[in-house]
Amino acid sequence: MSEAPGLGPKESVPAPRAAPREVWKKGGRLLSVLLAVNVLLLACTLISGGAFNKVAVYDTDVFALLTTMMLLAAVWILFYLLRTARCPDAVPYLDAHAGPIWLRGGLVLFGICTLVMDVFKTGYYSSFFECQSAIKILHPLIQAVFVIVQTYFLWVSAKDCIHVHLDLTRCGLMFTLTTNLAIWMAAVVDESVHQANSHSNVSHTRLSPDFGQGNSSGGDACSCNTAICQIFQQGYFYLYPFNIEYSLFASTMLYVMWKNVGRLLAATHSHSHTLSRASLFQETFFAGPILGLVLFVVGLAVFIIYEVQVSGEGGRTQQALVTYYSFNIVCLGLMTLVSLSGSIIYRFDRRAMDHHKNPTRTLDVALLMGAALGQYAISYYSIVAVVVGTPRDLLGALNLAHALLMIAQHTFQNVFIIESLHRGPPGEEPQEAPPKEACQGLTFANLDALHTLPAGPPTSRLVHPSPAEPQEAVTIILAPRGHWRRRCLKDISLFLLLCNVILWIMPAFGARPHFSNTVEVDFYGYSLWAAIVNICLPFGIFYRMHAVSSLLEVYVLS
C-alpha cells in the first residue's frame, strides 16, 4: 500500500519513538533504585542489630559487610574510569553545575581527614591484634583504599553525562552511593553510642571500641591500657565527624552523576558558576566576614569552656549550659536577622530567575529542606518539654528561646539560600521593554565611569559612532546602582557561612546539651530522648555543612 505524501513527514516525527526510550530510562533508574534500597536495608539491619548486646549480630559481621561493599564499589569505579578513558565518546556532555570546585575541595579535605582516621583506627586495633579478628584491621585499610579511589573518581568524573552502559552505570553509581550511606550510618551509630555512653554508665554497644573488651574472646584480654592505644582510640573518635561529612558529600555528588546518566545537554546550556580569583574576596564591605570571624572565635572559646566544665567534676554543668545557650541565642538571633535582611534585599533585585533544569540545585534544595527536619524535631520536643514541664528557671527560659530561634533561623536561612540559588548570574536583568529598532551593538556603562560625558537624561540613547556608518547605532545603557546590593549579599553569605561552620563544630565534636540539660531527659525519659537525639541530630549536623556549601555558591552567584 502506498502512503500519502503529505503524511510522510508527520509519520517520521520521532515523538512516538521517544516514549519507549523514556520508559526504558525510567526502567533503568527503577532497577538501580531497587538494588540500592535492598542493599541499604541489609546494611541498616546489620548495623542497627550490631549496636545492641541483646541482638546476636557482632561487629565483625558489620565490618565484613562494609569491607565487601567497599571492595565491590572500588572495582566498579576502576571499571568506569577504564571504560571512559578507552572510549572518548562515552561522555559527550559535561554538566557545568555538577561538582563545583568548592564541593570537590571539601571532599578532598574530608577525605584526607578520613585517611588519618583510618590510620588511627588501624593503630588502635593493631594494639591488641592477638585477640582481635583480622577483619577489624583489614576494614580501615580497605576503607583508605576506597576513599582514595572514590575521591579521584569524583574529582575527574563529577560532571560526566555518560552515554554508554547506561543501566550498568546507574546500578554502579547507586551501589557506590549506598556504600557511602552504609559507612555514614555505621559512623553515626558508633559516634552516637559513644556520646551516649559518656553521659550514661550503662554500656549497650558492640560497635564502640569498648565493646571489644567483653565481646570477642575473653574479657580483659583486649583492654586498651597502653598510652599509645588510648591516643589512637581518642584520635579516631575525634575524626569521626570528618568521615561522616565525607560520606555525605560523596553521596550527593554520586546522586547528581546518577541523574546525569544518559542526559542530553544543549550546546548553550545555561551558565556555569566558577570562582573568580580576582574578585574572590573583593566587593564586600568586610562587615560580614569580620563579624562572622568574631562569632567563630567566641564560639570556639565557648565550646572549649563547655567541654571542660561539663566533663569536670566540680559540678559546673549549670554554668556551662547557661554560657552555651547564651552564645547560641545571640548567634542564631543574628543569623535570623541577617537571613531576613538578605531576603528583603532580593525584593529590589531585578535579576532574572534561573529556570533551567539543574539536578544539582534540585538536590541542594531537597537536602536543605529535608536535613532541617531533624533540628525542627529536636526543637519542638524541647519546646513541649519546657512549656509543659515543671521547672521554671533561667535554664528553662534559655532552652525555650534557643529552640524557638533554632526553628526561625533554619526557616529564614532556607528561604534566603533557596531564593539565591534560583537567581541568575550577576548582570542578568530582565528587559522591561524590547527595543523597537534593532541594535547591532550594546555598550553597558557604569555611572561612575561616565562623569566625563555630557550631561543627559539617565535613559537609553542612540549614538552614531561615526558619520561613515550612520545606519549602525550603539545603545548606551546606563546601569543602575546595584553594586551595594551585591556587596551586602556577599557579606551576608560570608557571615552565615562562618556561623554555620561554628554551629557544625559544636555538635559534631561532642557538645550534647540535650543530655547535660535534664529537662528533656526527665520529661521523656532517657531511652526515648536518647533515641530522638541520636536519630535527628545527625541530620542537623549535616544541615550545617551542607548550608556552608550552598552559601559558598550563593557568595559566587551574588
* Residue 92 in grid coordinates: 559527550
**How many angstroms separate the CA atoms of 39 and 490, rounded?**
43
Neighbours of 81 (CB within 10 A): 15
* Residue 368 in grid coordinates: 536543605
Spatial CA neighbour of 259 closest among 97, 144, 49: 97
Q: Which residues of 442-477 are buried (b: 16+ CB within 10 A; e: fewer)?
A: eeeeeeeeeeeeeeeeeeeeeeeeeeeeeeebebbe
3-state secondary structure of 423: strand
Q: What is the pLDDT of residue 314?
A: 57
Strand partners, 444: 477
Q: What is the pLDDT of residue 509?
A: 86
Could you tell me if residue 525 is left (phi over 0), alpha (psi between -120 and 50 degrees) or otherwise beta?
left
Q: What is the pLDDT of residue 281?
A: 52
Q: 383, 401 in Cβ contact below 8 A?
A: no
Q: Position of cell 583480622?
A: 134
Question: Per residue in 141-162, pLDDT tens?
Answer: 999 999 999 999 999 999 888 8
**How many angstroms separate the CA atoms of 294 and 498, rounded?**
9
**How many angstroms separate the CA atoms of 546 and 367, rounded?**
8
Q: Give the list of residues 6+ apart from residue 3 with CB closer than 8 angstroms, or none.
A: 11
* Residue 45 in grid coordinates: 539491619
Q: Where are the domains of the chain?
A: 25-201+225-262, 281-425+475-557
Burial bucket for residue 318 (CB in 10 Å: 0-12, 13-18, 19+)? middle
Q: Inter-axis angle of helices 394-421 and 317-346, to 10 degrees? A: 30
Q: 423, 557 in Cβ contact below 8 A?
A: yes
Give this prediction's pTM.
Answer: 0.76
Question: Per residue in 193-246, pLDDT tens?
Answer: 776 666 654 333 334 444 433 344 333 456 777 788 888 888 888 888 899 889
Count of CA atoms in the C-beta half-sphere (13 A) of 210: 18
**Amino acid symbol at 215:** N
Q: Give the list of residues 6+ apart from residue 290 with CB closer than 8 angstroms, or none.
A: none
* Residue 19 in grid coordinates: 516514549
Q: Position of cell 558619520?
A: 467
Q: What is the pLDDT of residue 68?
A: 95
Neighbours of 146 (CB within 10 A): 25
Q: What is the pLDDT of residue 285?
A: 63
**How many angstroms separate the CA atoms of 103 and 253, rounded?**
9
**Amino acid symbol at 32:** S
Q: What is the pLDDT of residue 149?
A: 96
Instruction: Tell me the three-class secondary structure of 449-498, residue by residue.
Output: HHCCCCCCCCCCEEECCCCCCCCCCEEEEECCCCHHHHHHHHHHHHHHHH
Q: Position of cell 527560659?
A: 397
pLDDT averages per 10-residue partition of the chain, 558 residues: 46 44 63 92 86 70 93 95 88 83 89 93 83 86 95 92 88 95 90 69 40 39 75 84 91 91 66 50 71 94 90 76 93 94 82 72 88 92 87 84 94 91 62 45 44 46 43 40 72 92 90 86 86 87 90 82
Q: Give the list of residues 6+ apart from residue 52 with CB closer than 8 angstroms, or none.
A: 204, 205, 206
Q: What is the pLDDT of residue 197?
A: 67
